[in-house]
Amino acid sequence: MLSYISGGAEIDESEPTAKLIETGMRTFKSKLPMPEKVKTEHLKKLKMPVLGILAGQSTMHHSKSRFKSV
């Protein structure tokens, strides 16, 4: 996965930093609950510009399964 997200770059798996990143990616588990979808009525009450970015094309995050556009 590290090579994939690095644009296909060669990864030296003996490199300590690469090992650390790979281990973190393989074993990461969030201790916090997943954020809930913001309700449309709450968004409409906002008085300032808001930028929301969801990883719709990501191989690691699946925004479409959790959120929908408003």
Residue 54's pLDDT is what? 67
Q: What is the C-alpha separation between 37 and 45, in angstroms, rounded? A: 15
pLDDT score, position 57:
64
Q: Could you tell me the end-to-end alpha-carbon distance of the chain, in angstroms, rounded to an integer?
A: 32
Q: pLDDT of the chain along its 70 residues, tens only?
A: 677 777 778 888 788 988 888 888 788 887 888 777 778 898 889 899 888 776 666 666 555 554 444 4
What is the reported pLDDT for 70? 47
- Comparing C-alpha atoms, which of 4, 10, 67 is closest to residue 34? 67
pLDDT at 47: 92
Determine the pLDDT at residue 27.
Answer: 85
Taking the CA atoms of 35, 41, 42 and 48 in sequence, report the sign of the dihedral they define.
Answer: positive
User: Can you tell me the distance from the alpha carbon of 37 to that of 43, in angstroms, rounded to the nearest whole number?
Assistant: 11
